[in-house]
Amino acid sequence: MKIAFVSANRETMPDAVIPIGLLYVMAACPKHHETELWDLCFEDEPLSMLGQRLDAWQPDLIAVGLRNIQNMDYTGIDANMEFYRAMMRTIRKHSDKPVLLGGGGFSVMPERILEDLGADFGISGEAERAFPQLLAELERPEPDLMRVESLFYRADGNIRMNGRMGDFLVMDEIASPDRSILDERYYSEYGIESLQTKRGCPLKCDYCTYPKIEGARGRMRDPGLVADEFMEIAARPEVDHVFIVDSVFNLPIRHAKEVCRQLIARGNATPWTCYINPTAFDEELARLMAEAGAAGSELGSDSGCDEVLLSLRKGFTVEKIRKSGALHKQFGLKDCHSFILGTTGETMDHVERTLDFIEELDPFAAILLVWVDDIEALDAGVAAERFQLKEDIYGRIAERAKGHSRWVVPTIGVQFNERQFRALRRAGLRGPLWQYLDMAPAT
């Protein structure tokens, strides 16, 4: 079969990110199939490019990776869906072959997105086993789609879904992504590589969709193999930074420490960052991360009020955030905390207290967002209901952000605008831009 893998993600804010998930699926594709990667990220005319390629190559299956539903700055949150709808129209105009959807964005609302986009199939969550199963069925004269795990498909006018069959994948048995086929601009313009050390998160934070994508059980890769891959990808001359894409790097903490030890043993000098959860961040991990070359971390701190953290089921208190912040400072690691205000049940008093807390914490960087439910991208009614509350909270944040040059509020453009980011990239800054906020004037 000829299979076109389409990476539909065009988001370049704050950075363009390599389609590592799609590369993993491609690596799992049996070798007798012909494959091509069509990446829409940097295309000026993505839909004409897609139409031309479909006409010229005529694939038998179009496998589309949908990484994001929301936008980076949460404005115009239906913009991605609008683009995906136009993309589907283009595909249907130029091909009558089946379309398969997958990826993190698809997996947060698989049924609704399959319905909305009118695709034939979708695979929710990790697809390295399900995708070859689907191909095997499509090659048979009479495919039995019930044999494909995690598959969403159409039958008798309805959307059907198959459950997972068997355990989640064993990480060390998965084929490595082939990054050599990627557009050079991911590296020459952004300088960032991506690496996964494990899948799954055992916590159950109230709003979180990550376990839907990766599962709740942590599945670790061998730390030595992780460090080998790190050194290999970091050796590419344009790579200045590695981002560890795990939902949470430090859960379990012993695995994170072992990855650091392996990087130290290999003398790593390439800076890296990851997501850290304050629940399990101690002095030893901070020291090991610093020795292993980490530049800092992104922490999902979420709120400065214990009762909000409790209702979000975050599993930590404000005190843990303080301790994590202090350890970052002690070991020279930059801490970038994200805070989500206006979650269900939150009052303006909670909002004020969180803003007070951020001032007191004084992190290297703070990213402030007002809660957006994924469903708002598909349901205009829900989006309209929440509109006024969000406006009020952003009004308060805008007031309080004045004079804080390391507070970033993407939705209202505080320390976050495309022109400024392009200028910083042209000036040669590589890796996540929040690392350079100490060089920026207050906006």
Which spans of this chain sit near ligand SF4 (rule: CB under 6 A)? 201, 203-205, 208, 210, 247-248, 277, 300
Binding mask 341-380 for ligand B12 (x = CB under 6 A): ---------------------------------x------
Cα–Cα distance measured from residue 390 to residue 375, given in angstroms and rounded to the nearest whole number: 15
In the bound state with ligand B12, the residue whose beta carbon lies nearer, of 16 and 220, is 16
Name which position in 35, 70, 250, 262 contacts ligand B12 (CB under 6 A).
70
Closer by beta carbon to ligand SF4, 300 or else 363: 300
What is the torsional sign of CA 230, 233, 239, 243? negative
In the block, residue with structure tokens 């001359």: 237
Among 4, 8, 29, 63, binds ligand B12 (CB under 6 A): 63
Stretch binding ligand B12 (CB under 6 A), from 71-79, 154-162, 258-266, 304-312: 71-79
In the complex, least distance from residue 370 CB atom to ligand SF4, rounded to whole angstroms: 17
Indicate the Cα dihedral angle 11, 13, 19, 22, nearest 10°: -40
Which of the listed partners (ligand SF4, ligand B12, none) does 416 bind, with a CB threshold of 5 to 8 Å by partner kind?
none
**Per-residue x/- mask for ligand B12, residues 74 to 113, rule CB under 6 A?**
x-------------------------x-xxxx-xx-----
- Are 53 and 37 within 8 A, CB to CB? no
Of 15 and 149, CB closest to ligand B12: 15
Residue 298 neighbours by CB under 8 Å, 6+ apart: 273, 274, 275, 276, 336, 337, 338
* Residue 38 binds to ligand B12 (criterion: CB under 6 A): no
Kind of pairing, strands 365-370 and 121-123?
unpaired
Instruction: Name the residue nearer to ligand SF4 (CB basis): 280 or 288.
Output: 280
64 contacts ligand B12 (rule: CB under 6 A): yes
Q: Which does 424 bind (CB under 5 to 8 A by kind): ligand SF4, ligand B12, none?
A: none
Task: Report which of 205, 364, 200, 164 is spatially closest to residue 273, judged by C-alpha positions.
Answer: 364
Cβ atoms of 179 and 23 closer than 8 Å: yes
**φ, ψ for residue 404, nearest 5 deg:** -105, 100
Binding mask 204-223 for ligand B12 (x = CB under 6 A): -----xx--xx---------
**Which residue type sits at 47?**
L
Provide the CB-side half-sphere exposure for 319 (13 A, CA).
0
Q: What does the binding site for ligand B12 look like in residue numbers (CB under 6 A)? A: 9, 11-12, 15-17, 20-22, 24-25, 63-65, 67-72, 74, 100, 102-105, 107-108, 123, 125-128, 131, 192, 194, 196, 209-210, 213-214, 243, 245, 247, 374
